[in-house]
Amino acid sequence: MKKLQMVDLKSQYDKIAATVNASIQGVLDTNTYINGPQVHAFQKSLEEYLDVKHVIPCANGTDALQIAMMGLGLKPGDEVITADFTFAATVEVIALLQLTPVLVDVDLDNMNISIDAIKKAITPRTKAIVPVHLFGRAANMEAIMAIAKEHNLYVIEDNAQAIGANCTFSDGTKKKAGTIGHVSSTSFFPSKNLGCYGDGGAIFTNDDDLAHIIRGIVNHGMYERYHHDVVGVNSRLDSIQAAVLNAKLPFLNSYNNARRDAAAKYNAALSGHSNIVIPEFDSNGDDHVFHQYTLRIIDKDRDGLMQHLLDKGIPCAIYYPIPLHLQKAYLDVRYKEEDFTITNQLVTEVISLPMHTELDDEQIKFITDSVLEYLK
Ligand SMILES: *Cc1c(COP(=O)(O)O)cnc(C)c1O
C-alpha cells in the first residue's frame, strides 16, 4: 500500500510535473519574478473560472482577509460576526484591525456559522459578517445575504477551504463560493484544494470601486507611482507561485471531484454506524468540495480512536481542538458558554481523516476498516 498521508502533494505533483516545471521555467527564462505576466494570466483565468469580475492576487489567505476588511473601510470598534469553529486567521485579522470580533456558534449538521446565532448577535455596531465555508462545505449564503441586506451589513466570505464549491440557491441557480458576498478571500497554501508550492492568496469581488481600492492597498496604498493615498500593505503573489497555479487551475474541478469520490467511498464504508456521524453529502451535488473529511464520533472515545489510527500509521487530526472563544487571545467577557453549545460539542467529537486527490481504494479500505475495528 502507498504510504498514507494527510495530504499527498508528491503523488499529485508527479502526475503534472512536466506542466508545472515548464510553467516555472517560464518565469526563470524571463526573470519576471514580481508581478510577471504569470500573475496576470492567473488572475484572468481565475476570474473566468469563478465567474467573478475581479480577482486580486496577494501573498496568503490571511492577508487576503485583512485586505478585504481594510478595503471595506471598517473602523476600530465596528463589530464583525464570525464563526467560533474555524481556523484562527479569521478572528485574528478582525482583532489586528482593532475591529471587535463577535464569535458565534455553528450548526451541528454542516459545521458552518449558524443563521440564528448571527441574528442574535447583531447590534447597532455590527458592520460585517464573515462566513467561513468550513472543510469545503459552502455556508448558507442565501440566508446570510438576506440578513446582511436587512441590516445593511457587509459579507466577507472566507473561502480558503472551498474554492470551486458551488452555492445552490432555492431557485436552483448556482454561484461559486466566494463570489456572493461583497468581497471574499482565499488561500493557495499547498494543502488547500487549489494549492501552490509556497504561500499565496487572493481577494475576489464583483464591485469595481472596491476592486480599485484593494488593488492600491495590496501595493502600499499606491494608485499612482509614489503617491500613497491610503495606508496599504505589501502583499503579492509571486510569479513562480502564479506559474504553479496556472499549471494546476485546469485540474481544480477534477481535483475536487477526486476529493468528493474519496468522501463518497469513506461515507459508504462508515455510514449506518451508531457511533459515527458521517459528513452530509449535499443533495445539490457540488456544494461540498471536501477540503477535510471530518467525522463526528458519538459516545465513544474519540481520542482513543485517534491514537489507534496513529498507531496503525494512519495520519488523522482534530480540526479544531479548541473553540476560538476559549482561546486566550480572543477571550471576551460578553461570551456565555450557553451560546456555544455546538462548538463546545464539536471540539470533543470531530476527527479528520486523510483527504486529498490521490487516495486509492486500498488506502480508503485500510483506513475505514481501522476506524470500524476500534469502534466495533
Ligand atoms: C488556510 C486558512 C486561512 C489562511 O490562509 P493562509 O494562506 O495560510 O494565510 C484562513 N482561513 C481559513 C478558514 C483557512 O483554512
Within 13 Å, how many C-alpha atoms sit on residue 310's CB side? 11
Beta carbon of 279 within 6 Å of any ligand 1 atom: no
Query: Taking a C-beta distance cutoff of 8 angstroms, is the pair 157, 133 a contact?
Result: yes
**Mean pLDDT value across the chain:** 96
Q: Is 159 in the pocket of ligand 1 (CB under 6 A)?
A: no
For ligand 1, atom 6, name the residue with the nearest CA. Answer: 61
Q: Is 192 a known active-site residue?
A: yes
Over residues 126-163, the pLDDT tens digits come to: 999 999 999 999 999 999 999 999 999 999 999 999 99
Strand partners, 130: 82
Counting ligand 1 atoms within 8 A of each CB, the residue from 58, 69, 87 with the most, and so the one to mutate, is 87
Query: Residue 79 has what pLDDT?
Result: 98
Q: Are 74 and 128 in contact (CB under 8 A)?
A: yes
Calculate what percentage of the chain has a pLDDT beyond 70: 99
Amino acid identity, residue 47? E
Q: Which amino acid is at 293?
A: Y
Q: How many residues does the chain have?
A: 376
Q: How confident is the model at residue 280 (pLDDT cuts 50, 70, 90)?
A: confident
Domains located in the chain, CATH noted = 9-250 (3.40.640.10), 252-375 (3.90.1150.10)
Q: Report pLDDT digits (tens) over 42-79.
A: 999 999 999 999 999 999 999 999 999 999 999 999 99
Each residue of 83-141: pLDDT tens digit?
999 999 999 999 999 999 999 999 999 999 999 999 999 999 999 999 999 999 999 99
Which residue has its alpha carbon closest to ligand 1 atom 2?
Answer: 160
Cβ of residue 92 lying under 6 Å from some atom of ligand 1: no
C-alpha count within 13 angstroms, C-beta hemisphere, residue 320: 20
pTM: 0.97
Long-range contacts of 262-269 (CB under 8 A, 24+ apart): 262/290, 262/293, 262/355, 262/356, 262/359, 262/364, 263/288, 263/290, 263/293, 263/355, 265/361, 265/364, 266/293, 266/353, 266/364, 266/367, 266/368, 269/364, 269/365, 269/368, 269/369, 269/372
User: Which residue has a Cα nearest atom 14 of ligand 1?
Assistant: 160
- Identify the active-site residue in 176, 192, 248, 265: 192
pLDDT tens sequence across 182-220? 999 999 999 999 999 999 999 999 999 999 999 999 999
**Whether the Cβ atoms of residue 54 and residue 183 lie closer than 8 Å to each other:** no
* Residue 105 near residue 342, CB atoms below 8 Å: yes
Give me ligand 1 centre to Cα 160, in Å.
5
Whether residue 60 has its Cβ less than 6 Å from ligand 1: yes
**Cα 191 to middle of ligand 1, angstroms:** 10
Q: Decide: 189 in ligand 1 pocket, CB within 6 A.
A: yes
| SS3 state at 20 | helix
Pocket lining: 90 vs ligand 1, CB cutoff 6 Å: yes
Q: Is the CB of 91 under 6 A from ligand 1?
A: no
pLDDT band at 376 (very low <50, low <70, confident <90, very high): confident
Count the alpha carbons within 13 Å of 33 in the hemisphere toward its beta carbon: 2
Ligand 1 centroid, distance to 186 Cα (angstroms): 7
Cα distance between residue 18 and residue 14, in whole Å: 8
**What is the DSSP annotation of 287-316?**
SB--SSEEEEE-SS-HHHHHHHHHHTT---
Q: Which residues, in sequence order, are bridge partners of residue 102? A: 81
Q: How far is the CA of 226 from the centre of ligand 1 (A)?
A: 31
Determine whether the shortest distance from the Cβ of 59 to ligand 1 is under 6 A.
no
The alpha carbon of 90 and the centre of ligand 1 are apart by a number of angstroms equal to 8
Mean pLDDT of 159-183: 96
Residue 48 CB-density burial (10 A; 0-12 exposed, 13-18 middle, 19+ buried): exposed
Confirm if 141 and 180 have CB atoms less than 8 A apart.
yes
For residue 161, the CA-to-ligand 1 centroid distance in Å is 8
Check pLDDT > 90 for residue 282: no
Residue 345: its pLDDT value, please? 98
Q: State pLDDT tens for residues 204-260.
A: 999 999 999 999 999 999 999 999 999 999 999 999 999 999 999 999 999 999 999
Q: Is the CB of 87 under 6 A from ligand 1?
A: yes
> Which atom from ligand 1 is nearest to the alpha carbon of 188?
7
Structure confidence at residue 325 (pLDDT): 97
**pLDDT tens digits, one per residue of 304-363:** 999 999 999 999 999 999 999 999 999 999 999 999 999 999 999 999 999 999 999 999
Expressed in angstroms and rounded, the spacing between residue 361 Cα and the centre of ligand 1 is 29
